[in-house]
Amino acid sequence: MNILTLLIFTPVLFGLIILLLPSSMRASFKYITLLATLLQLGFSIWMYLNFKTGASYAGINHEEQFQFVQKLPWISLDLGGAGKMQIEYFVGIDGISVTLLVMTSLVLVIAAIASWEITSNLKGFFALFLLLDMAVVGVFCALDFFLFYTFYELMLLPLYFLIGMWGGARREYAAIKFFLYTLFGSVFMLLVMVGLYLSVKDPITGNHTFNMIQMMNPKNYIDGSVFSILSHQTILGMPARTVGFVVLFIAFAIKVPVVPLHTWLPDAHVEAPTPVSIILAGILLKIGGYGIIRICTGIFPDVAYSGAYWLGLLGVISILYGAFNALAQRDLKRMIAYSSVSHMGFVLLGIASQTAEGISGAVLQMVSHGFLSTMLFFLVGVIYNRVHDRDIYNFRGLGTLMPKYTVYVMVAFFASLGLPGFSAFVAEAFSLAGAFKSHNVNGLLPYWMAVCGSVGILLSAAYFLWTLQRMFFGTVSLKGGDIWKIALTDINWRETATLLPLALIALTLGVMPSLVLGKINDSVLALVQFTQNVFHY
């Protein structure tokens, strides 16, 4: 049994168990879910430990360099004259996916623990949760575009219901907004996927193929096909490959999210229940970044190269714009949501630089943000569960009431604002360093982008500290008066058990970034080389 397959489908198995169990056993559902996610975490850690590094395990555009590969024919239809339809169940990981997988598994465990707060319709919630679990893990593993797309779309469905059914007051609005946004992206992605399929031929079997790795090789493109590099086809007067790239980029940019495609995020976050917020911020946003690295730059390296300026510009705009917006918020969750926009801007900036530093920084930032945003949303959930209010102005002096909680909040806030010693610092510093270096290495991004990006770090300090000062320090003064004072108990053991590992991981990654960088370095170098070599064909 392939470990990746096991990783992907374990949650579904448990989900089925939950569906089969009678509702009278609903108290056990959360434990089953937790067990599933813990099992998954175990698998992913085993994979992380057994993951081989070295230039011959770089992955990216070499199929044989991927690890834990499983490749089975899935849909194989003989279409007569049109050749054979070749869709494979093809999973495998390289350096870029492995760290994200571990991060995902851990975040899912946290999310499962955060699901303790859910009280209604437990069977549905946990079944959907586990379905979502499978989909997100699958997205990181899939190497067949069709499989990728399947998981990608499969992800939307549970999310829609999870937000729409267990969310806050305006949940339907948020759910539909989210759904439309992401659907908008993925529908066009489907077209490009089909276009790619028709353009690419498997050199061995001679069939059209969805294999992403073969899509990366310019030699596999049929002469004169839509996306062939040499044939310079156009769609509506624009170069076809540019159109393909832009469409895929928009699909992923919505997920990241990149300004101006971000407005679903604050709404979805604010309305979603805590575990879903955690998954949204911790994992879903990373799928966007992962997609941009693996698919956008992997399959269209030439366009990524020529369009890097605009990518970088969008990244910088996201950083600043998100930060300014966060500064204007008074809903704690919304503030954190906008801070996510700002922090994910660094990912885009790093990717756009196409330097080893930039991309490593971007991946590290994704991993780090995965943990930190999980922590932040969990922390918001703690306070929301107690008093059902998140308005920053309604609290003051929580530091006196909830000292332990405040410590974790401070850890999360300072880690997020890039305090050295925590993971975000290394990530953001190197994203910026890569962006700055880019001008000298490949001339893609101007210097000023990195400088503007660094202003985002300043602004993040402003909004986090303002929140800290406003909510946690000063004399105790709560909107809800003594009732709230009683309700706002310090965190319990379950919450500690969730927050402590996250804080420790953020700290560990900050002190030893090699835990991530060591695994991704070969892949990143291979990717950089790959994007720069594409013009030699």
Partner 1 sequence: MNKALPYQDIQTVCFAIAAVVLPFAAFVINFLFLGKSKLSGWVSTVAILVSSILSVIVFTRVWNVQQIHVKHLWFIIGDNTLYTGILLNNLSVLMLGLVSVIALPVHIYSTAYMKDDAGYSRYFQYLSFFCFSMLALVVMDNLILLYAFWELVGFSSYLLIGFWFDRATAVQANKKAFIINRIGDIGLLTAIIILFNQYHTFDIAQLFKDGGLIASSTINNGLWISGTTLTPVVWQYIACIGIFLGVAAKSAQFPLHTWLPDAMEGPTSVSALIHAATMVAAGVFLLGRVYPLFNEAELTTLAVIGCFTAFMAATIALTQNDLKRILAYSTISQLGYMVMAMGIGAYATSLFHLVTHAFFKCLLFLSAGIVIHQIKHIKEDNHLNIDPQDIANMGGLRKKLPLTFIATLIGGLALIGLPLTSGYLSKEGILVQAFEWAEHKGSAYMLLPVLASITSWLTAFYVARLILKVFYGDMHLLTLHPGIKIHIGDGGWRYKLPLVLLSLCCLFPLFSLNPLSHTQSWLLYGLSSYKGYTESIFEIIVPVVVNVLSLVVMYYAYIIYIKQSIWVSSQTGLLYRISFNEWYIDRFYNCVVVKFVLALSDMTFWFDRKVIDGFVNLLEKIGVFIAGIASWCDRYIVDGILHLSAAIVQAIGGFARRFQNGKVQYYLFSMLLAVIVVFILKILIWN
Q: Which spans of this chain sit near partner 1 (rule: CB under 8 A)?
A: 177, 180-181, 259-260, 262-263, 321, 324-329, 355-357, 360-361, 397, 399-400, 414, 419-421, 425, 429-430, 432-433, 436-437, 439-440, 447, 450-451, 454-455, 457-458, 461-462, 465-466, 468-469, 472-476, 512-514, 517-518, 521, 524-525, 528
Indicate the residue among 489 and 514 with the shorter CB distance to partner 1: 514
Indicate the residue among 212 and 401 with the shorter CB distance to partner 1: 401
Selection from 448, 537, 527 nearest residue 61 by Cα: 527
* Cα–Cα dist 187/196, whole Å: 15
* Cα–Cα dist 129/519, whole Å: 29
Shortest CB 187 distance to partner 1, Å: 14
* Cα–Cα dist 156/64, whole Å: 31
Indicate the residue among 42 and 421 with the shorter CB distance to partner 1: 421
Shortest CB 164 distance to partner 1, Å: 17
Indicate the residue among 50 and 400 with the shorter CB distance to partner 1: 400
85: left (phi over 0), alpha (psi -120 to 50) or beta: beta
The residue count for the chain: 537
Shortest CB 65 distance to partner 1, Å: 18
Q: Tell me if 410 sits within 8 A of 146, measured CB to CB.
A: no
Neighbours of 498 (CB within 10 A): 26
Indicate the residue among 158 and 399 with the shorter CB distance to partner 1: 399
Indicate the residue among 277 and 523 with the shorter CB distance to partner 1: 523
Shortest CB 396 distance to partner 1, Å: 9
Indicate the residue among 383 and 524 with the shorter CB distance to partner 1: 524
Which residues neighbour 388 within 8 Å (Cβ) at sequence distance 6 or greater?
none
| 3-class SS letters over 457-502 | HHHHHHHHHHHHHHHHCCCCCCCCHHHHHHHCCCCCHHHHHHHHHH
Indicate the residue among 209 and 325 with the shorter CB distance to partner 1: 325
Indicate the residue among 116 and 466 with the shorter CB distance to partner 1: 466
Indicate the residue among 10 and 438 with the shorter CB distance to partner 1: 438
CA 414 centroid distance within chain: 21
* Cα–Cα dist 202/206, whole Å: 5
Shortest CB 434 distance to partner 1, Å: 8
* Cα–Cα dist 226/274, whole Å: 44
What sign for the dihedral angle of Cα 524, 286, 496, 409? positive
Hey, which residues does 404 pair with through a beta bridge? none
Shortest CB 214 distance to partner 1, Å: 27
Shortest CB 436 distance to partner 1, Å: 5
Shortest CB 359 distance to partner 1, Å: 8
Indicate the residue among 249 and 463 with the shorter CB distance to partner 1: 463
Shortest CB 100 distance to partner 1, Å: 17
Q: Tell me if 103 sits within 8 A of 93, measured CB to CB.
A: no
Shortest CB 469 distance to partner 1, Å: 5
* Cα–Cα dist 344/136, whole Å: 18
Contacts 24+ apart (CB under 8 A), 300-303: 300/241, 300/244, 300/245, 300/248, 301/216, 301/530, 301/531, 301/534, 302/229, 302/241, 302/534, 302/535, 303/241, 303/242, 303/244, 303/245, 303/246
User: Residue 304 is which amino acid?
Assistant: A
Shortest CB 400 distance to partner 1, Å: 6
Token pair recorded at residue 266: 């604050």
Indicate the residue among 317 and 534 with the shorter CB distance to partner 1: 317
Selection from 182, 185, 187 nearest residue 158 by Cα: 182
How far CA 102 is from CA of 44, 155, 332, in Å, comes to 5, 18, 28
Shortest CB 265 distance to partner 1, Å: 11
Indicate the residue among 14 and 414 with the shorter CB distance to partner 1: 414
DSSP letter assigned to residue 181: H
Shortest CB 429 distance to partner 1, Å: 7
Indicate the residue among 52 and 388 with the shorter CB distance to partner 1: 52
Which residues neighbour 536 within 8 Å (Cβ) at sequence distance 6 or greater?
none
Shortest CB 521 distance to partner 1, Å: 6
